């Protein structure tokens, strides 16, 4: 089905009517952009001058030129293989992305002087907090999932109350409640443990539902067969249920880890020296907020890409193992 859709899309791209349609749409779009105070219009001022001076025909000519280049680009890419298409488009979008930030006149020397400290201190702290939190959250999730599938009303009530409460509160509020609220009860907790505890409890509640759905997807006959063989609950979960449930659990769990990696920036409000905290602190000293925020954004993006690649490999491993 996927191959058929790809072939159909390639044929559509090379149809004359489709090519003319793309050219007209791109021309109209960029002509409109050039006539307004948009970023595109601002970048094209050195070429055609102000819209009042260049006139509509000047903007139309620039719009047609840009539209023609984009149309040629789309049609030409359609002749290569799918993976090459993706790589080309990613490279083009990345170049445009960097050109967009280059237009802000960033101080790259300032970025070079701070980036190593952001990586060695902020990146390491972010990964440490996120990795420990996701590990603890997975443990909490397994216990919570088993409790929610249990016929014991007490266990089910505790697990359902836990998931309802921690999924119902914003993560930022949970960080404040743990870091600022517990000292009022006589339990003083440092910033990093408070952040890890908040992330663990919050994401543990979400992952409880993921694990519950994964375990529940295994037919009841598997449980009954294991009991007939004399397997206990722990051995059944370890040898029979979880190996079959993991291919369903891994994808959403990987997504949760990527989300946690970004949400770990919330612990910066309580003074944890993670990536977001350093971006704000280093940028405020020299009034170079944008340089540090852009750098932190690119680091977060790079980490997310690495995690996506790792997740895809793990998914392929379990998919191959299950077949």
Here the tokens at position 273 are: 């020296």
Cβ contacts of 257 within 8 Å, gap of 6 or more: 130, 134, 307, 311
Q: Determine the 3-state secondary structure of 55 from DSSP.
A: helix
How far is 48 from 41, CA to CA, in rounded Å?
Answer: 10
Distances (CA, A) of 95 to 98, 283, 303: 5, 25, 19
Helix segments in 103-190, DSSP class H: 108-117, 124-148, 153-168, 171-176
pLDDT attached to residue 60: 65
Distances (CA, A) of 167 to 73, 270, 298: 46, 21, 29
pLDDT attached to residue 211: 92
185 secondary structure, DSSP code: G
Cβ contacts of 189 within 8 Å, gap of 6 or more: 178, 179, 182, 183, 197
Up-side HSE of residue 252: CA atoms within 13 Å toward CB? Answer: 17
pLDDT attached to residue 32: 62
Cα 47 to the center of its chain, rounded Å: 38
pLDDT attached to residue 273: 82
Taking every pair of Cα atoms in the chain, the longest distance, rounded to a whole number of angstroms, is 87
CA-based Rg of the chain, rounded to a whole angstrom?
27
pLDDT in tens, the chain (323 residues): 444 444 444 455 556 766 667 667 767 766 666 555 444 445 444 444 444 444 556 566 666 776 677 777 777 777 778 888 888 888 888 887 777 777 777 888 888 888 898 888 889 999 999 999 999 999 999 999 989 988 889 999 999 999 999 999 999 999 999 999 988 888 889 999 999 999 999 999 999 999 998 888 888 788 778 877 778 777 788 778 888 888 888 888 888 999 998 898 888 888 888 888 888 888 887 888 888 988 998 899 999 999 888 888 888 877 776 55
How far is 23 from 29, CA to CA, in rounded Å?
Answer: 10
- Global pTM reads 0.74
pLDDT attached to residue 161: 96
267 secondary structure, DSSP code: G
Q: Where are the domains of the chain?
A: 2-95, 108-322
Nearest C-alpha neighbor of 206 from the set 156, 249, 268:
249
Distances (CA, A) of 150 to 147, 161, 215, 216: 5, 14, 12, 11
Torsion of CA 236, 242, 245, 249, to 10 degrees: 150
CATH class of 108-322: mainly alpha
Here the tokens at position 201 are: 């409890």
């Amino acid at each position: 089905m996927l191959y058929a859709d790809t072939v159909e899309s390639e044929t559509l791209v090379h149809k004359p009517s489709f090519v003319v349609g793309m050219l007209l749409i791109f021309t109209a779009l960029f002509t409109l952009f050039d006539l307004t105070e948009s970023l595109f219009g601002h970048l094209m001022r050195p070429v055609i001058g102000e819209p009042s001076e260049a006139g509509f025909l000047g903007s139309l000519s620039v719009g047609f030129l840009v539209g023609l280049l984009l149309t040629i680009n789309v049609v030409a890419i359609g002749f290569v293989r799918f993976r090459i298409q993706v790589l080309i488009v990613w490279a083009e979008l990345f170049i445009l992305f960097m050109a967009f930030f280059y237009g802000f006149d960033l101080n790259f020397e300032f970025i070079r002087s701070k980036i190593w400290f952001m990586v060695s201190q902020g990146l390491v702290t972010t990964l440490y907090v996120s990795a420990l939190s996701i590990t603890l959250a997975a443990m909490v999730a397994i216990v919570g999932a088993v409790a929610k599938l249990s016929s014991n009303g007490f266990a089910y009530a505790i697990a359902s109350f836990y998931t309802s409460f921690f999924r119902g509160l914003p993560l930022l509020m949970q960080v404040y409640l743990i870091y600022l609220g517990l000292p009022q009860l006589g339990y003083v907790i440092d910033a990093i443990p408070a952040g890890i505890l908040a992330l663990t409890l919050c994401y543990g509640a979400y992952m409880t539902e993921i694990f519950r759905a994964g375990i529940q997807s295994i037919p009841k006959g598997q449980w009954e067969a294991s009991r007939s063989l004399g397997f206990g609950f722990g051995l059944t979960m370890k040898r029979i249920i979880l190996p079959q449930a993991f291919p369903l659990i891994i994808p959403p769990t990987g997504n949760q880890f990527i989300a946690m990696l970004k949400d770990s920036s919330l612990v910066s409000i309580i003074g944890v020296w993670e990536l977001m905290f350093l971006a704000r602190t280093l940028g405020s000293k020299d009034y170079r907020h944008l340089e540090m925020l852009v750098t932190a954004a690119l680091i977060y993006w790079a980490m997310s890409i690495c995690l996506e690649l790792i997740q895809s490999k793990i998914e392929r491993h379990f998919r191959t193992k299950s077949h």
